[in-house]
Amino acid sequence: MKRQPALKRSLGFWALMLCSIGAILGAGIYVLIGKAAALGGNAVWMSFGISALLAAFTGLSYAELVSMFPKSSAEYGYTKKAFGEKIGFIIGMLIILASVVSAATVAIGFAGYFSNMFPVAIIPVAIALIIVLSGVLIYGIRESAWMAIIFTLIEIVGLIIVIIIGIPYLGSVNYLDTSAGFSSIFAAAALIFFAYLGFEEIARLGEETKNPTKTIPKALIYSIIISAILYILVAVTSVSVVDWQTLGHSTAPLADVVAIAFGSNAFLLISVIALFATANTVLFIMLAGSRIIYGMSKEKAFPKKLSEILKNRKTPIYAILITMIFTIAFTLVGNIETIASLTDYAIFIVFIAINAAAIVLRYKLPTAKRPFKMPANIGKFPVIALLGIITSILMLLHLDIMIIIYGIIITLIIFAFYEVYEHHKKSSKRKIHIGSQ
């Protein structure tokens, strides 16, 4: 029997960690810092620290699970082993939905920055970006990773510029002042949590990583820590340079901070950095999204065609193309804001399932090798995974009630699709069996 080509193991620790940092940083911080400052006041830096801790709970569950099962199927594979095929399929589909909608949303964001600099229509630019980045993904994982690394370094430089600008202003305010008491710090933390999303995406690169059982958990944890340090420093310097009330009302808060040093050129500088940030986010979301489609196909949840690999480039061409097609489709949706909000629902449902899977597998597979194991256990029970479930539920409850209702409806549609799809697969197998007799 001819052996199918495998994905190429090209990613080491540094490449993976930088890709993960890029996925976390994205472009959210450029807007979120203002909204967060309006809630947390000068103490918004504490909110960034609390959010990092909350993200780390689920991050540690991912780290343990990926060390056990370093496969492209990631979330689908973990929840399938813990709760069965049906739950695994629903979680996998929610991840795919979140991936294509998020990529489309951020691609439109990229096009918005681009159209502010050049007189072009937004949707064609967004589609062009998606097609170009899909070409990079098809060309190779090494090339995709290098692009992500370069773009991440540019993002980091942008944040370091903000930090350096703020150094002369350090100590100019009371960093414990809040907008409305200590509770406002937690309100800001709930908002800021979204700025840490993205760390989970490297779990789907297990088949393209060298020594993935050790490399991915380490890269995942370090990326959260480094992102948190950058965010906290940016928060401290931002409120030092511009008062939190002004930041809270600003549509471009970091540009206001940079304007202190660069004047009217600040908006151009921030827009250029945001172009790299948004392009990087689209690239990595599509990379991770295509890999779970590939992984689910390998595990026979999807048609076999989607796990086929381009022989000379060692990339899953059909999984990438299907990701590209659906991402473009969502860019063509008129008002994408509501659909984009559904990605938050999907992510938090997935996080609840991942933490629950980490708990269940401690008892279901007690002797399985765990190159990385979460600390803080009571017997076999991982306390951190429980904290991950609690925080994910709290984040879910912060969403608008209509988003939760729409999310539940979509989950039920996925469930119905699974039942129909499974019935079709079983009918096809019976026909083949009867025909071979």
* Cβ neighbours of 246 (radius 10 Å): 16
**Residue 284, pLDDT score:** 94
Residue located via tokens 């609690």: 390
* Residue 325 CA from chain centroid, whole number: 20
Answer yes or no: are the C-beta atoms of 77 and 204 closer than 8 Å: no
Q: Whole-angstrom Cα distance, residue 336 to residue 413?
A: 20
Q: What is the pLDDT of residue 2?
A: 53
Give the Cα separation of 243 and 102 in Å (integer). 32
Neighbouring CB atoms inside 10 A of 193's CB total 24
CA-wise closest residue to 193 among 393, 401, 414: 393
Spatial separation of the C-alpha atoms in residues 189 and 196, rounded to whole Å? 11
What are 80-89's pLDDT values in tens digits?
999 999 999 9
Domain ranges, ordered by start, for the chain: 13-426
Name residue 333's amino acid: V
**117: number of Cβ within 10 Å:** 12
Give the model's pLDDT for residue 434: 57
Give the residues across from 315 on adjacent strands.
310
pTM of the model as a whole: 0.92
Instruction: Determine the Cα–Cα distance for residues 323 and 352; give it in Å rounded to an integer.
Output: 25
- Give the pLDDT of residue 352: 97
**Spatial distance between the Cα atoms of 44 and 395, rounded to a whole number of angstroms:** 18
Q: Of 322, 282, 326, which is closest to residue 111 (Cα–Cα)?
A: 282
From the list 288, 302, 297, 307, the residue with the least C-alpha distance to 137 is: 288
Nearest to 223 by CA among 392, 6, 20, 10: 20
Tell me the one-letter amino acid at 223: S
- pLDDT digit string (tens) for the chain, length 437 residues: 455 678 888 899 999 999 999 999 876 787 788 889 999 999 999 999 999 999 999 999 999 999 999 999 999 999 999 999 999 999 999 999 999 999 998 999 899 889 988 889 999 999 999 999 999 999 999 999 999 999 999 999 999 999 999 999 999 899 998 878 888 898 888 888 888 989 999 999 999 999 999 999 999 999 999 999 999 999 999 999 999 999 988 878 888 899 988 888 888 888 899 899 999 999 999 999 999 999 999 999 999 999 999 988 899 999 999 999 999 999 998 666 777 778 889 999 999 999 999 999 999 999 999 999 999 999 999 999 999 999 999 989 888 899 899 999 999 999 999 999 888 777 766 665 555 55
Q: How many CA atoms lie within 13 A of 49 on its CB side?
A: 9
Please identify which residue in the block is written with the tokens 């681009």.
Answer: 114
Q: Convert 36-99 into a string of H (helix), E (strand) and C (coil).
A: HHHHHHHHHHHHHHHHHHHHHHHHHHHHHHHHHCCCCCHHHHHHHHHHCHHHHHHHHHHHHHHH
The CATH code for residues 13-426 is 1.20.1740.10
Classify residue 80 by burial, with Cβ atoms within 10 Å: 0-12, 13-18, 19+: buried
Tell me the C-alpha to C-alpha distance, in Å, between residue 121 and each of 19, 98, 110, 278: 30, 25, 12, 17
Nearest to 109 by CA among 188, 162, 38, 30: 30
